[in-house]
Amino acid sequence: RSAAFPARKTLEDFDFDAQPAIRAQVGSLASGAFLTEARNIVLLGPPGTGKTHLAIALGVAAARHGHRVLFATATDWVTRLTEAHRSGRLPQELTKLRRYGLIIVDEVGYLPFEQDAANLFFQLVSSRYEHASLVLTSNLPFSGWAGVFGDQAVAAAMIDRIVHHADVLTLKGASYRLRGRGIDSLPS
């Protein structure tokens, strides 16, 4: 299985003392039951709080449970969908992606989407709705997603589908990357 994880991270090496509020929630997700129910997971929080780490770790756990997993950033997914759309293969691509039990979309919100990109991303979310799971990470609360997708209506329709059957985990606190470096927080 080539999930293309950007780094090797597991739930075992996540320090829950840094995120005590989500310990129990992540513990119950580790069983992978969310995948058979086609539920989604949304990881929200500021930079360095462990969103990508947990997204990879949940992907590794899903793969261990025998699910096919793909990992890419939101920007990469949009590039992939745009290429499929341009060559007239978008329906086939979405059908192919539905055969993956888990698709991870990292970093929703770092870059705004063009209108066409937002519409393509919406189609990815729609095609998986109640069928296969998504794990998404974002540095923005849902209220900030309209700015990313350019359009309030598209963002609202997308969030509605994502959150209908989802666990939303909110990570808090200072960046784990800056621990012990005498830096308390990043500009916000």
Q: How far is the CB of 48 from ligand ADP (least distance, A)?
A: 5
Q: Is-contact 168 45, C-beta < 8 A?
A: no
Q: How far is the CB of 87 from Mg ion (least distance, A)?
A: 30
**Chain position whose Cβ is nearest to ligand ADP:** 50
Residue 166 or 171: the one with the smaller Cβ distance to ligand ADP is 171
Q: How far is the CB of 104 from Mg ion (least distance, A)?
A: 11
Single residue of 4, 15, 91, 160 touching ligand ADP by CB under 6 A: 15
The reply on whether position 47 binds ligand ADP by CB under 6 A is yes
Q: How far is the CB of 91 from ligand ADP (least distance, A)?
A: 32
Task: Provide the greatest CA pair distance for the chain.
Answer: 52
Single residue of 52, 73, 133, 138 touching ligand ADP by CB under 6 A: 52
Give the separation between CA 103 and CA 171, rounded to whole angstroms.
21
The reply on whether position 96 binds ligand ADP by CB under 6 A is no
Q: Identify the burial level of 133 via C-beta atoms within 10 angstroms of its C-beta, where 0-12 means exposed, 13-18 middle and 19 or more buried.
A: buried
Residue 9 or 67: the one with the smaller Cβ distance to ligand ADP is 9
Best CA proximity match to 82, nearest among 123, 116, 113, 105? 116
Phi first, then psi, for residue 183 (nearest 5°) are: -115, 120
Phi first, then psi, for residue 129 (nearest 5°) are: -55, 125
